[in-house]
């Protein structure tokens, strides 16, 4: 700790902040969030492109400054806007169980990183009261979020014994920036850099989550906890993205459905982030984007049961009681037909959705896949597309017309029957070709 503290003393807080952001987001694509907790308890955040950060950072430095670990398609820090997943991280609130940050790092070095329980992090943020371990990964798109989430949860579980915070596992998370100050402890945030090699998410899966790898390769056996979690996360994320797509199709004119949209968003967001406070913030922001938003007080009250259902979903006793009643588990286990009925999703709208579809749409997609496969098979066996067939017929017609013209030049007195015999075609075909020749 002392060595990198001395090294940091040689740099200004601004230079340290620039180094921190650059180290994590070099070559990034999308919007990066800078955020600050105001003295009055308010929260201010803004979004920048990577090349803007160096210019904007001086305006932000001071107490309680944060930045996002991943990037976003839009200048909105919401889960459906993830563009690049660029890091895994675990926030260790060791102060809550009376451990000193430096002692925890030494303990993890010996018990976790040295024995390859987890790989060594790229950097460790000493946040003023705890630490954040950050593993940089080769950027992956939003579709990899379910896998990212399963790996993220696994990393958290390995560090839970030293105070890891489960509420800090969502992909929209922001963490304190090097050179800023933690207003609660009055300590300066310091970053220890360990190495710059980025990990590959799939490689981490293969090495640390073999159960999930076996399931993907089709090996038989009972699905374990990780596989079930991955499948559930995939479904929740697909449904949340469908919900946003549906709102876009309706131009966010959702009067009559606003409570349902916000309720479903809050529930699925809780399931994906494991952070009800963050899910609530993002739901409130979604509501604010409606053409006619609900009041903040009203939307919070109308969707409160979503958070209660998520809490029950994570409660062993509640799950046991739900299974006794014949349910898969606690929480909302909604069928597509229920969601379609609640939101009055039309067949045309379903064509634009990924997973919230009915049996008719599933059959339509299957017919399309079958037709595509049949076409590919026929082409693989030498069959021609319609365009190829028509082009070939055109060339044949032009060739026969040319042959007829030459035959008529050589035998100007020949009858249609004689010309047909010369070209080995029908008399009717000679008559058709003559019209082409004359034109």
Q: Which of these, 150, 91, 87, 154, lies nearest to 118 by C-alpha position?
A: 154
pLDDT of residue 321: 75
CA 201 to CA 87: how far, in whole Å?
A: 9
Q: Which one has a higher pLDDT value, 232 or 423?
A: 232
Per-residue DSSP letter, 270: H
pLDDT of residue 386: 66
Assign 82 to helix, strand or coil.
strand
CA 407 to CA 158: how far, in whole Å?
A: 88
* pLDDT interval class at 268 (50, 70, 90): very high
Average pLDDT estimate for 173-200? 95
Q: Which one has a higher pLDDT value, 211 or 36?
A: 36
pLDDT of residue 380: 65
pLDDT tens for each residue of 278-304 = 999 999 999 999 999 999 999 999 999
Q: Any idea which of 97-106, 270-279, 347-356, 376-385 has the lowest mean pLDDT?
A: 376-385
Q: How many CB atoms lie within 10 A of CB 52?
A: 14
- Which tokens belong to 384? 């021609």
* Helix (H), strand (E) at residue 291: none
Is the pTM for the entire model greater than 0.85? no
Confirm if 342 and 260 have CB atoms less than 8 A apart. yes
* pLDDT interval class at 437 (50, 70, 90): confident
Domain boundaries in the chain?
A: 1-208, 230-371, 396-438
Confirm if 189 and 125 have CB atoms less than 8 A apart. yes
Edge to edge, the sheet with strand 174-176 lists 43-48, 32-37, 65-68, 174-176
CA 31 to CA 48: how far, in whole Å?
A: 5
pLDDT tens for each residue of 2-55 = 555 555 668 899 999 999 999 999 999 999 999 998 888 788 999 999 999 888
Block residue for tokens 């563009």 = 83
């Amino acid at each position: 700790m002392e060595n990198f503290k001395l090294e940091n003393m040689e740099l200004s807080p601004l230079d340290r902040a620039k180094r921190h952001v650059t180290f994590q987001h070099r070559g990034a694509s999308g919007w990066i969030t800078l955020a600050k907790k105001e003295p009055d308890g308010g929260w201010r955040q803004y979004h920048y492109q990577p090349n803007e950060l160096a210019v904007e950072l001086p305006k932000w430095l001071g107490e309680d400054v944060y930045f996002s670990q991943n990037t976003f398609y839009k200048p909105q820090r919401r889960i459906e806007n993830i563009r690049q997943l660029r890091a895994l991280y675990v926030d260790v609130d060791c102060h809550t169980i009376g451990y000193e940050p430096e002692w925890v790092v030494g303990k993890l070095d010996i018990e976790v990183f040295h024995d390859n329980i987890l790989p060594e992090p790229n950097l460790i943020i000493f946040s003023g009261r705890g630490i954040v371990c950050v593993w940089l990964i080769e950027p992956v798109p939003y579709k990899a979020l379910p896998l990212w989430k399963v790996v993220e949860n696994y990393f958290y579980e390995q560090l839970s014994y030293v105070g890891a915070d489960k509420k800090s596992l969502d992909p929209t998370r922001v963490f304190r920036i090097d050179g800023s100050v933690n207003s609660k402890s009055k300590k300066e945030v310091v970053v220890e850099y360990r190495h710059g090699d980025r990990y590959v998410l799939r490689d981490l899966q293969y090495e640390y989550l073999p159960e999930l790898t076996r399931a993907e390769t089709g090996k038989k056996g009972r699905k374990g906890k990780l596989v079930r979690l991955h499948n559930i996360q995939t479904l929740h994320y697909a449904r949340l993205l469908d919900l946003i797509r549906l709102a876009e199709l309706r131009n966010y004119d959702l009067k009559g459905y606003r409570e349902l949209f916000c309720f479903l968003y809050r529930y699925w967001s809780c399931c994906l982030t494991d952070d009800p406070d963050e899910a609530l913030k993002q739901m409130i922001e979604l509501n604010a984007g409606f053409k006619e938003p609900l009041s903040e007080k009203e939307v919070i009250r109308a969707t409160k049961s979503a958070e209660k259902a998520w809490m029950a979903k994570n409660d062993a006793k509640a799950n046991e009681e739900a299974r006794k009643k014949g349910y898969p588990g606690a929480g909302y286990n909604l069928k597509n037909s229920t969601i379609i009925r609640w939101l009055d999703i039309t067949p045309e709208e379903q064509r634009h959705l990924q997973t919230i579809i009915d049996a008719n749409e599933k059959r339509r997609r299957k017919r399309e896949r079958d037709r595509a496969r049949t076409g590919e098979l026929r082409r693989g066996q030498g069959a021609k597309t319609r365009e190829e067939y028509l082009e070939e017929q055109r060339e044949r017609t032009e060739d026969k017309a040319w042959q007829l013209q030459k035959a008529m030049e050589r035998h100007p007195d020949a009858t249609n029957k004689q010309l047909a015999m010369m070209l080995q075609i029908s008399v009717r075909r000679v008559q058709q070709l003559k019209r082409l020749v004359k034109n």
